[in-house]
Amino acid sequence: MRSLCACLVLLLLAPLALPAGEFDWMVREFSRESGATAMHIPFFGLARFIVAVGHPAGTSELRLAVFEHTNLESSRFSNITDMAVGSAWKPMVRVRARNGESTNIYARPDSDNLRLLITSLDSGGEATFVEVRVKPAALMKFVDEHCERR
């Protein structure tokens, strides 16, 4: 029983012990350029584990970073984000609202999957980075099943 508990703990902590990846590098670059620090989100490791095991809507990976009090204008936010993201990610959607909010959606093919990166800045100065890896066919099936057709 003790070895089973030890294995479960190691399995849950394994994603935390992995070396920093591209998402972590983007978060560090944004932090360096903006002067904001990413918040710690309690129990998010557990949420990542559930996504990795359960694959909801075809999702196999989930990453999240939230920054408070960035004090950036939407154009500066987009410039910093584009620089942090790099040329491997292709911009798909850019939305800028008059109230200073900004949302950017980037995509990148990853073998049979699609990696999506959504960056947003709200009018209160909170910036959010979300990266997901999805299977496009499973995502479309989920959308078709859960969206009401009119």
Task: Identify whether 111 is part of a domain.
Answer: yes
- What pLDDT is stored for residue 148 in this prediction? 67
Domain, as residue range, for 63: 20-146
3-state secondary structure of 31: helix
Task: Give a yes or no: residue 14 inside a domain.
Answer: no
10 in a structural domain = no
Inside any domain, residue 118: yes
Lowest mean pLDDT of 57-61, 63-67, 92-96, 121-125, name the range.
57-61
In a domain, 3, yes or no: no
Tell me the residue length of the chain. Answer: 150
Please check whether residue 9 lies inside any domain of the structure. no
pLDDT at 17: 41
Q: What is the pTM of this model?
A: 0.74
> How many structural domains compose the chain?
1
Q: How far apart are CA 29 and CA 44, in angstroms?
A: 21
Query: Is residue 119 a part of any domain in this protein?
Result: yes
Residue 99 per-residue DSSP state: T
Q: What does the alpha-carbon distance between residue 91 and residue 131 come to, in Å, rounded to a whole number?
A: 14
Query: pLDDT digit string (tens) for 23-34?
Result: 888 888 888 888
Average pLDDT of the chain is 79
Instruction: pLDDT band for 76, please (50, 70, 90 cuts).
Output: confident
Strands (E), the chain: 59-67, 90-96, 102-110, 113-121, 127-134
1-20 residue pLDDT tens:
555 444 444 444 444 444 44
Contact 101, 120 (CB under 8 A): yes
Return the pLDDT at 150. 53
pLDDT tens per residue across span 84-132: 888 888 999 999 888 888 999 999 888 888 889 999 998 888 999 999 8
81 within a domain of the structure (yes/no): yes
